[in-house]
Amino acid sequence: MPFFDTHTHLDYLHQFTQEPLEHLVQNAIANGVEKILVVAVLQRDFETIKNLTALFPKNLRYGLGLHPLYIKEHTLKDLDVLENILLQRHKKLTAVAEIGLEQAIPELTAELIWKKQCKFFEAQLFLAKKYHLPVNLHSRKTHDQLFTFLKRIDIPKRGVVHGFSGSYDQAKRFVDLGYKIGVGGTITYERANKTRQTMSKLPLDALLLETDSPDMPVSGFQGQPNRPERMAKIFESLCQLRKETPEQIQETIWQNSLALFG
């Protein structure tokens, strides 16, 4: 079975490396990654991502959203733009992404900024519900707050908590609510005991694979931009942690990914 990279910023990888997009996509395919979800962080990137995805309709899908790291830049007009695009949704637009909450950066926890984060997150959750799309979720030091929103706002298609590095109990709460957990490069580091143990114990049908390219580099490639082609490294680490066969792991996660973002 092939791989589906369920969280990338392929537009930023393309900009950063200046490599032809075709080269990046073909390298991914050559390493078994047949589908890639490209997620947005800013409204000004929406059109770029749509156009980029259109060049490889068989392989690329995309999600549009307003990322909490850039909350100071987001405006109410950006939410209107997002809804207008969702209203006339392209078939390759398969998620509201990347959205979520951020508390690892102190300046983003100031009262007014935090309130704005929550307002924009809630608004985008309701858009996902209205247009029947899954969400791809950012959460740093906000798992409890994120869970409260997700429990209150019932999104039919659910989604994934991406790049998860919390505890098993935190992950299980999201899973019990119907959400998937994104498995990324963190598990390739042996020192990441908490995350590795979490991924070894969660139900297999609750997991997705992702690179977060060009971020979250895998072990052995620190300091380099991450790439979808390195998905195999993450998969190998996951296989070492699980009791199922590699074939079962790959097939189950492929089907999980297609069902959510395909």
Tell whether 80 is in a known binding site: no
Give every strand in the sheet of 33-39, ordered side by side. 3-8, 33-39, 60-64, 93-102, 135-140, 159-161, 180-183, 207-209
| DSSP per-residue letters across 107-169 | GGGSHHHHHHHHHHHHHHHHHHHHTT--EEEEEES-HHHHHHHHHHS--TT-EEETT--S-HH
Tell whether 22 is in a known binding site: no
Angstrom CA distances, 258 to 4, 36, 64, 70, 99, stand at: 8, 11, 18, 29, 20
Tell whether 162 is in a known binding site: yes
Helix, strand, or coil here: 246?
helix
Tell whether 132 is in a known binding site: no
User: Residues comprising the binding site for a divalent metal cation?
Assistant: 7, 9, 98, 138, 162, 212
User: Residues comprising the binding site?
Assistant: 7, 9, 98, 138, 162, 212
